[in-house]
Amino acid sequence: MAIVHFYEKPGCINNTRQKQLLIKAGHLLIVHDLLQYPWADNRQRLRAFFADLPVASWFNRSAPAIKNGEIDPEMASESQALDWMVADPLLIRRPLLEAEGVRRVGFDTDNIDAWLGLTESNTKQSVDLETCPKLQQKQACRS
Q: Is 44 helix (H, G, I), strand (E, B) or coil?
A: helix
Q: What is the pLDDT of residue 129?
A: 64
Q: What is the pLDDT of residue 120?
A: 58
For residue 134, tell me if it sits in a domain: no
Give residue 136's pLDDT band: very low, low, confident or very high (50, 70, 90). low
Percent of the chain with pLDDT over 90: 81
Give residue 121's pLDDT band: very low, low, confident or very high (50, 70, 90). low
Stated as kind and residue range, the H or E segment containing 59 is: none
CATH code for the domain in which residue 16 is found = 3.40.30.10
DSSP 92: B
Residue 13 has pLDDT above 90, yes or no: yes
pLDDT digits (tens, 9 = 90+) for 47-104: 999 999 999 999 999 999 999 999 999 999 999 999 999 999 999 999 999 999 999 9
For residue 56, tell me if it sits in a domain: yes
Q: What is the pLDDT of residue 12?
A: 93
**Positions marked catalytic:** 12
For residue 85, tell me if it sits in a domain: yes
Domain count, the chain: 1
For residue 139, tell me if it sits in a domain: no
For residue 136, tell me if it sits in a domain: no
Q: What is the pLDDT of residue 119?
A: 76
Higher pLDDT among residues 104 and 140, named by residue: 104
101-125 mean pLDDT: 83
For residue 131, tell me if it sits in a domain: no
Higher pLDDT among residues 123 and 104, named by residue: 104
- Cα dihedral across residues 117, 123, 128, 134: positive or negative: negative
The whole-model pTM stands at: 0.85
DSSP 2: -
For residue 141, tell me if it sits in a domain: no
Domain that holds residue 84: 3-123
For residue 135, tell me if it sits in a domain: no
Length of the chain: 143
